[in-house]
Structure 1
Amino acid sequence: MSEEPLGGGLAEKGCQQQVIEMQETGSKLQPQSPYWYEDLPGPTVPLKSSDKKDQPNLALDLNYVNEDVFELSRASSIQRGFGLMFGVGVSIAFVAMLPFIGQMYQEGHPEESPVIASVLALMLLGLAILLLHLIKRGVRTPRDLPVLFDRKNQKVFAFEYLPKANPFAKWKTVIKELDWSRVEAEIGKIAGYTGKTYSVRYGLILAQCEANTTKVQDRIIVKSQVATPLVLHQMWAYIRCFMSEGPKNLRGIRPFPRDVSFRRCLLEFYPLFDRTEEGARLRANMHVVELVLLTAVGIPLFWLFLPAGVFEYVGQRLASEPTWPAEIVSQAGLMHQD
């Protein structure tokens, strides 16, 4: 009998454990999203009534629902106020400074240092393009970019707006279509400045894969700027339940108003001060820590957050209202289009 080298069994077990750990720390989808945090259960996995993560809830993101379709709003994931405020504010300052910049440029004798002069001119041009990009994004992004889940036809339609680096180019609105039988879901994680505060934010991502594989063909972000993954687990539970059973086993949710409201925009960062019924609904669907932190940061920075709310209102006023194409309305039986 040949003897197994001393420790060979332990080494093999160690390698197996390492493989398991690698599988647990990586996505099953390929290529893996750079923001990947967690894979979610497959679309046909039954919900567990005892699991808090499997309690279907869309919070404030429902636009419309009937027996065959439901429309999920992504309006809360669109933030235009800070970008528009920065773009307009710096643009005004830039235009006001142009005579002084021109005079300084001439007094610097650019012919003596053509390379430096060219670099400075390109930097100013780059700044102007960036400002135009921010302004156009703030006023041209539609008020909402809804996602339509069609249970009857087992399809998912996503209203997508595709900005380009060139602000002078035509930015298109496209409708992405996903086959529900090939959809997988994952949670993404982004750490950094979110327009409100420095923190970690999570998002729900849907990926369409090639048939019978985990190779991703396309991804859409269904929800972003969320403080805790639990919200996304429950949103995914709602989507799975609807697509398999319809709305009969789902708790009724009253759609949140989507009209352009100055009060709502102005108090976006101050939900504690919004004493309306809408404000109560907002507070009820926010994490306590997030609510307190947002208010604590917002009070000393009111000089920044209040103007951002005003610019949010202006941007929404100038933005277009999304409208589904007639063929999708007919195919899905969507009846709420104005």
Structure 2
Amino acid sequence: MKPKYWFNLWHTEIKVYEWNCIEAEITKFSGSAGKTTVVKHELVLVVCRPQSNEVVDRIFLKGLDPAVPTLHEMWAGVRRFMQCGPNAVPGIETNIRETGFLYSLLAYMPYFLPGTIGRHHRETMRWYDYVLAFMSFWLFWIWLPLGVCSYIAGTCAPEPQWPAEIDAESRSL
């Protein structure tokens, strides 16, 4: 039997671990190309066997970040959420993602979007964001095919579905 979508070929695996067996590590990647050196950091969750330091699994949480303090803040937020629940984490703001053609077309220039999403982007822009917006406006013909491809991928992709027992457990917080 052929899969309905080619997306179904991706392997999905749900792993459940005890919270007290999870530690975090920040890894550093650096590379040099002539006169330029690039340094990036990554936040990795390390799952160890109980009562030991033997690594069972690694989960990459956030990668390619140039600043270490943001990764420390992220780990502190994860720990606070796991110990005290969702009410202990202040200011959780979710990204609103529309799937319409116009929203996909302007996905790479969200400050041009009409409505509340575009207004939110324009209100949070700083002075240098306006300079970048002006410069990126001239690259519209590059962003246009990327937006069309984003729309096609978003409409063809199936909705993700969690197994019922995992979904019920995650909603019981």
Distance in 2 between residues matched to 1:177 and 1:286, nearest whole Å: 39
Map residues 120-199 of structure 1 onto 2, 5 A cutoff: 140=7, 170-188=9-27
Q: Does 1:310 align with 2:157?
A: no
Give the deviation of 1:224 after TM superposition. 4.1
Counterpart residue number, 1:162? none
Q: AA paired with 2:141?
A: W
How well do the aligned residues superpose, as a CA RMSD in angstroms?
A: 3.7
| Residues 188 and 204 in structure 1, CA contact (< 8 A), matched pair in contact too | yes
State the one-letter code of the partner of 2:7. Answer: R
SS at match of 1:264: helix
Q: Which runs of 5+ in 1 are unaligned?
A: 1-135, 142-169, 193-198
Which one has a bigger Cα radius of gyration? Answer: 1
Residue 140 to residue 333, structure 1, CA distance change in 2 (3 Å): closer
Give the TM-score normalised by structure 1: 0.39
CA distance in 1, matches of 2:114, 2:24: 36
Determine whether 1:260 maps to 2:99: yes
Q: How far is 1:216 from its partner?
A: 2.4
Q: Which residue of 2 aligns with 1:204?
A: 43
Matched-pair contact (CA < 8 Å) for 2:24–2:44: yes
Give, in angstroms, the shift of residue 218 of structure 1. 1.4
Equivalent position amino acid for 1:317 in 2 = T
* Aligned twin of 1:115: none
Contact 1:185 1:207 in 2 (8 A): yes
For residues 125 and 44 of structure 2, what CA distance do their matches in structure 1 show? 21
Are the equivalent residues in 2 in contact too, given 1:209–1:215 (CA < 8 A)? yes
- Mapping for residues 322-333 of structure 1, pairs under 5 Å: 322-330=160-168, 332=169
- Residue in 2 that maps onto 1:233: 72
Structure 1 residue 242 and structure 2 residue 72: aligned? no
Structure 2 vs 1, CA of residues 327 and 247 (structure 1 numbering), >3 Å: closer, same or farther?
Answer: closer
Counterpart of 1:220 (choices 55, 59, 84) is 59
Deviation at 1:311, TM superposition (A): 0.5
Equivalent residue letter for 2:149: F
Q: CA deviation at 1:204?
A: 3.2
Q: C-alpha displacement at 1:244, in angstroms? A: 1.1
Equivalent residues of 1:182, 1:209 under 8 A apart:
yes
